[in-house]
Structure 1
Amino acid sequence: MAFSDEFDSDERLASKRKALITVSMILLSLEFTGATIKEANTFIFKIEFSNQHGLLYLLVATVLYLLVRYHNYAMPYHQRLYKLWTNRMLEDTDVFYKDHEDEGVYGLLQGALLPVWDYGHQQPSGLGYTASGLLGRYLTYSVMVEGRHGDEMQFRKIDLRNWTKDWSRMDFVKLIWVEFKYQVDGFVRHREHLDLIGPYLIGILALMSTLPWQSWVSLFT
């Protein structure tokens, strides 16, 4: 099944997204319109709450809970989308290119890979790209080594914050810029990114609307 089809057919993710958006919109409506409900019958709601702040706190807690639940169900898709755009980045010959004739490695990542690139012998395979924190960036790869029971595959990684004569801070900055461009391209060209991020944005906006902005502004005026 294609990724888009699997994403659209995931009923559990869709239900969490719908619940998060619904409650967030109710909270936004209460905050921005000052709506009060005084009575209720089968078709019309007019309910008056003696403690409006209690309702507000309840909705805030509900939005926080649903954000966590939605994130739990969305995480596998975040990981798959991350892998999709990082693979596209690594397929860019300006970033990484392996020449099958001279078995050399070229592109922006050349300097980072040179210390582990064994020309004419066993070379790294399955190159991957991972991020950790704000500036933690790593290349992951696998290599066949001789073990106690014969050849075995080992998985290793390169910390791209370790500068060498072949891999400089400027190279790292260029890589971050390339990464940013591929992330933006992913959001523009693939709707699944916005479908995943949208509920987070609405939930966070709803929570921010409950903060005492006017009181804070008055402190500086």
Structure 2
Amino acid sequence: MPLSEEFDAAASYLSNASSLSQVSTAIKLELYGLFKFVTVSHTPNTSRPGIFDFTGRAKWDSWQEVGTRYLVQFDPDGAAQGRYLEIAKSLGWKPGASADDDSLGHGMDGERESTKGVVTGTGVFVSTMSAPKDDDSGTIHGLAITGDAQKLEKMLIAEPSLDLNRKDEYGYTALHLACDRGNLEIVELLLKRGVDRTLKDPDELTALELAETCGHDEIVKILKDGQ
């Protein structure tokens, strides 16, 4: 079944949607599986990654689960696209809306994709997403998302008593958000300031586990080195 224009538009929107910062890992994995089901094949076309490839296995399992769920339906591709659109609408997408022409998504394996790419990433797979809303750009969590390490450092110098471990309204610390988005400089700065790396997000993941899930190897290394 060919991709619908709505599916293309929704995928473009999700590749650059700041609303994904509040999405659980389970939903992000589902979006990944749905996208692969519709655009690549109904089931994974590679063998399941080894037990130590945490990220690869999570992605593979999601894709396989979507295939199992939708292949038994009368119109598998139509049903899968419908579910993808349903999630996109819950995250603010409206039919007729599209991402900016120059906005690009990031694949869950870290490669750049077209604006038709799937979200990955706060997410599992939270890959780099668009900047938070303007009113969040001056907070520690907003800066963790945008990756503005210089501005964050100035903020920490000006406000030395700032609680680095405070969770945002969705249950994420700044360290979680930086690990999710792959913002290495932010992670290094927070670690230098003594942030608590053992705290868990709403999906019961530590910052290290989230970085592993998102495939941010450099961040994983510095988090493990500090253990």
Larger Rg: 1
Structure with the greater relative contact order (CA < 8 A, sep ≥ 6): 1 or 2? Answer: 2
- TM-score band, normalised by shorter chain: under 0.3
Q: What is the TM-score normalised by the length of structure 1? A: 0.24
Name the one with the larger helix percent: 1
